[in-house]
């Protein structure tokens, strides 16, 4: 079955609307329309091509992740000519963090392109996954130059505050530990399983500054609990977020 044929079963008007909305996001005309439909096809649809291969956005997501890294690395290299390798790596990590890509994908409204007739829990990372898949689709359809322009103008230009990167915290726990080492303060995290009745909270984390407990937080996972507690501690101690790379 021709992949596009699957979507042409829907009205021509819906198809026109799909690519009209997409062009507003990318500012690019779509030539290979199949690839964009693939970019917004979730594996739960269980679509297959004539050879029995699954059709979904996961391969494009993998490709888009790599393209984003290349374009953003190149941009940061030019934008911060005197920054050290470690600093550039931190800046890139902040831009392509799962949390940040999820926020951008959600702001753009990419989930609206998915067929949501079936009641599927796509998970909170769906927004970032779709953003990466879209980048991969643009690369396949229009090549590196146009894809790079899309990333620079529509993602970095509209959704990333480049001048604030040095103040953006990627991991509050990591930041606190580094801050403690530089200021010679003792920062300790104590995390225990939480056997309460609320399934949303499986762990409780307490943060200690020089052996004194300053905050505690609960989370569904050990990592989330610690990060939540670290963020609270960060604000409670009123720490400035810049640590020189």
Among all residues, which ones are annotated catalytic? 65, 132
**Smallest Cα–Cα separation from 28: which of 161, 159, 157, 151?**
151
Residues 6, 7, 8: CA angle, nearest 5 degrees: 95
> How far is the CA of 150 from the CAs of 19, 122, 135, 156, 237, in angstroms?
16, 26, 8, 9, 40
**In 10 A of CB 86, how many CB atoms?**
10
Helix H, strand E, coil C: the string for 127-181 is HHHHHHHHHHHHHHHHHHHHHHHHHHHHHHHHHCCHHHHHHCCCCHHHHHHHHHH
> How far is the CA of 181 from the CAs of 176, 187, 197, 211, in angstroms?
9, 9, 37, 15
What's the CA gap between 70 and 85, in Å, rounded? 15
Residue 188's Cβ-side half-sphere holds a number of Cα atoms within 13 Å equal to 8
What's the CA gap between 14 and 4, in Å, rounded? 13
């Amino acid at each position: 079955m021709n992949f596009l044929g699957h979507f042409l079963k829907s009205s021509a008007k819906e198809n026109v609307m799909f690519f009209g909305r997409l062009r507003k996001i990318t500012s690019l005309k779509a030539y290979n329309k199949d690839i964009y439909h693939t970019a917004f096809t979730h594996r739960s649809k269980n679509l297959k091509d004539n050879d029995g291969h699954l059709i979904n956005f996961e391969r494009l997501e993998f490709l888009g992740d790599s393209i984003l890294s290349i374009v953003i690395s190149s941009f940061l290299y030019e934008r911060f000519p005197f920054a050290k390798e470690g600093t550039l790596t931190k800046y890139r990590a902040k831009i392509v963090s799962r949390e940040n890509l999820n926020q951008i994908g959600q702001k753009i409204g990419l989930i609206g392109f998915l067929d949501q007739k079936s009641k599927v829990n796509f998970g909170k990372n769906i927004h970032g996954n779709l953003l990466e898949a879209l980048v991969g689709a643009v690369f396949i359809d229009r090549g590196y130059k146009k894809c790079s322009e899309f990333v620079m103008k529509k993602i970095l230009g509209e959704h990333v505050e480049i001048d604030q990167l040095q103040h953006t915290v990627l991991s509050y726990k990591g930041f606190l530990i580094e801050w403690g080492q530089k200021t010679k303060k003792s920062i300790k995290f104590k995390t225990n399983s939480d056997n309460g009745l609320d399934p949303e909270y499986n762990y409780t984390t307490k943060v200690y500054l020089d052996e004194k407990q300053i905050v505690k937080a609960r989370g569904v996972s050990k990592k989330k609990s610690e990060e939540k507690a670290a963020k609270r501690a960060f604000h409670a101690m009123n720490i400035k977020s810049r640590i020189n790379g």
